[in-house]
């Protein structure tokens, strides 16, 4: 139960800060309005890092159904825990987005762009094209899972900073920061076509929240696109861990 609660809380933190930065950039009359893509990608990266720091020691900080399924497929996680983890992650996504809505309560009615309001909850493509959009989410999540697996193999004693080995530091201290850097890199490099969901809970949970919350002047929740940021990341996650194991990096 503690692991499920940690996945719920961690995903809620991830979405609160991640979608929070989107709202700050997109919504009318915020202090961060028109801050740009760098602000969004940096905010999401730090959101991931903090969420992993907060919950990693309890649940492993999957915070992402694509990661959970990939780890189970790779033999590193029990399939019996997968449904509970995914349910907690999606519920956390709904909770985190609800907090974003409350934080920016006075700005929804001032914002005329319905698509921009949806972007504060879930992703959407810059160019709507089913196969290319799916491929983008597939590649981005494959890169994420491959990197997470590689980071898990990092030996703290082999890291060097200021010319001195960091053997005295626990690898778990570095791992969340490295995952954060990975998400930052994916956002900067691969996020343009679809907004890099790379996480079904990050997209589906907030999309559900968008559908049920009384958001002033909201439009469609775009359910026709919603399957792509769910199935694309799951397929990509399986490919990422498959490639990692195939190349023998898991040894």
**Model confidence at 218: pLDDT above 90:** yes
Token pair of 246, please?
A: 């195939």
Task: Give the number of other Cβ atoms within 10 Å of residue 247's Cβ.
Answer: 10
Residue among 76, 82, 92, 85 nearest 11 (CA): 92
How many whole angstroms separate alpha carbon 24 and alpha carbon 42? 13
| pLDDT band of 172, cuts 50, 70, 90 | low
| 248: confidence class by pLDDT, cuts 50, 70, 90 | confident
DSSP structural state of residue 120: T
pTM for the complete prediction?
Answer: 0.92
Instruction: Let me know how long the chain is.
Output: 251
* pLDDT tens column, 107-136: 999 999 999 999 999 999 999 999 999 999
As a whole number of Å, the end-to-end CA separation of the chain is 31
**SS3 for 89?**
helix
Confidence of residue 168 (pLDDT cuts 50, 70, 90): very low
Query: Shortest CA distance to 172 belongs to which of 88, 54, 82?
Result: 54
The superfamily (CATH) of domain 2-246 is Glycerol uptake facilitator protein. (1.20.1080.10)
């Amino acid at each position: 139960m503690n692991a499920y609660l940690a996945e719920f809380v961690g995903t809620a933190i991830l979405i609160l800060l991640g979608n929070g930065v989107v709202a700050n950039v997109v919504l009318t009359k915020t202090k961060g309005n028109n801050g740009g893509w760098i602000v969004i990608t940096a905010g999401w990266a730090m959101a991931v890092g903090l969420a992993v720091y907060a919950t990693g020691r309890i649940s492993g900080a999957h915070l992402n159904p694509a990661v959970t399924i990939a780890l189970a497929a790779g033999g590193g996680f029990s399939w019996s825990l997968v449904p509970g983890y995914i349910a907690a992650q999606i519920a956390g996504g709904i909770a985190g987005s609800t907090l974003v809505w409350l934080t920016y309560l006075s700005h929804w009615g001032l914002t005329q762009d319905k698509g921009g309001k949806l972007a504060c909850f879930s992703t959407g493509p810059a160019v709507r094209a089913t196969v290319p959009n799916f491929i983008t989410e597939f590649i981005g999540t494959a890169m994420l899972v491959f990197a997470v697996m590689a980071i898990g193999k990092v030996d703290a004693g082999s890291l060097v900073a200021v010319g001195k080995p960091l053997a005295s530091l626990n690898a778990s201290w570095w791992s969340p920061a490295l995952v954060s850097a990975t998400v930052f890199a994916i956002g900067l490099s691969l996020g343009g076509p679809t907004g890099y969901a790379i996480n079904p809970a990050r997209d589906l949970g907030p999309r559900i929240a968008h559908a049920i919350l009384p958001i002033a002047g909201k439009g469609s929740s775009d359910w026709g696109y919603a399957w792509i940021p769910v199935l694309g990341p799951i397929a990509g996650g399986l490919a990422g861990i498959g490639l990692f194991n195939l190349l023998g990096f898991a040894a």
